Structure 1
Amino acid sequence: MYQITNQLHKIGFSIDLISNIIRRNNFQKKFNTKQFFCILLVAKDIDLIISGIQYEIKGGNAVFIGPMKDVEFGDAYGKEIYVIVFSADFYDKSMKDSVFMNSQVFFNSRSDVFISPYFGNNKYNEVILVERLLKFQSKDESLYISAAHNAIEGLILDAYLHVDEHHTEADERLEYVSFVNRFRVLLQRDFKTAKKVLHYSQELKISSRRLTEMCEYVYGKSAKQIIIEKIKIECEKAIKFSNFTMSEIAYDLGFNDEGNFSNFVKKHTGKKPSEMREISA
């Protein structure tokens, strides 16, 4: 299991050179994006293998990779390649954000990646973006978060200029991706109050079985598994990075009482909430 930085756990965003990420993980080059969205700023040519398919990425491109993708970096070590990683929680603050995040840029029925020229292949812009974020990071966390959100939006908007160059097909696969993306948006909104598949299938006006079939096709996981993973992640974040009591966390995340919350955490993480907080202290 590779290491995820404390910053990514805490605020849901990080930016780093791929060399640092590889070195931090004992020079391992294989990763899974898990629940995160990734943007690679590629200054030099590299080879990537994503979900078993090899891509030759030319320098000057941005690469957009959605959640639950297996990624293997080829000759990336030592090259100037920045990796921006963020969670849905971090970016999804408005309806516009949801549209961007669940668009063809990150979800495409024909490809596991979206590649577009990075700001017109302008090296200067990459330096400005990275240096600007690092300055905010050292100054103020709230400003850093705001600057990071704006940076992501700018990159996605730039990619949107090239969406028409990627032809999509109006077939069953695209329909599945569309429904599952909408399910994820609803889950982000309702996970504290709705923990049953039925709620989301009713919102989408399809059967629970149909929603599960679509989730299994797109992610290889059932709708129930995706809900559990979302709640588990939120529980872990609250335990490790908040100062709330366990009762307060349980209440905030929609559990009936602290006992049900503790049982859920123990069942799905293998640790009691108190043990998890001790480890992070």
Structure 2
Amino acid sequence: VPAFILLSAFLNMRGLLRGNPLRDYFRKRALRALWPYLLWTLIALLIQYRFALWNADPDKLVTAFTWGKGYYHLYFLFVVLQLYLLLPLCAPWFRTRPSLSATLLVTAIVTAVVYLLNRWFLHMRYPGSVIFWYVPSVMMGIWLASHSDRLEAVREQARLWGTAAALLSLLVFEVVAIQVLLKQPANTALYQFSNWIYGAAGSVALFAWCDRIQVPRWKSVLELLGARSMQIYLIHPFVIVYLSHLFKSVLSGSEWRVPLYTVVCILVPLGLAWLADRWRVSRPLFGA
């Protein structure tokens, strides 16, 4: 999730910094994200009702739309919608092309404020559904966008510091996580901040290394999956629900369950995406 948020922040902020009109910006985001979010939240609730996973509780209905909890995967789309609203507010400062050190300082301050506000006052019900819970990834994505004219040089530098920060923060996170698993006293602030740093630094490292680790023979396959990623993302959980209901007794505990579900959860959405294109209903269904 942090990597997707960083990439979304990078791509959308790069367009804003190029001077794309705000009216066009919001219109496209409403079509590509807001409408699919509302539609698929409703579809998710209907499917859960059909398979007796939801009893039409009004509280669940409100939570589904206001916290991205229509189904477990839809919170990410809800977070992205908030990101789209936040980016234009950040654009003026990033037009000044701030340095990495200045960006990291602001990121640290904002992240600390968010953490303390939530710990002492807000007590957010679902912090993972709020964009401010991903400030480090958002800020790194925006910073990369503000320096996109020298992106290769930035990526070259980021391979070193991004990888080092990711490995160090992962080490700290794992130590604290093991303490939690062993039910030993653990520093919860260190747990959360190391998690944030690892998510952002690991995403930067992935962004920096992606051109070096690409496999040319997989390019066409990955391009196909990337072009249909929205459809796969929206549909695949419901394929799992249907398969679990259909083959509950047959595949329960089977070693083939995970690989079979993985293949089917890619092929079925791809097939439906192809049909949606043929029938010209892809945009109203998926926003793409």
**Given the two structures, how large is their TM-score scaled by the length of structure 1?**
0.29
TM-score (norm: length of structure 2):
0.28
Larger strand percent = 1
More helix by share: 2
Q: Which has the higher contact order (CA 8 A, sep 6+)?
A: 2
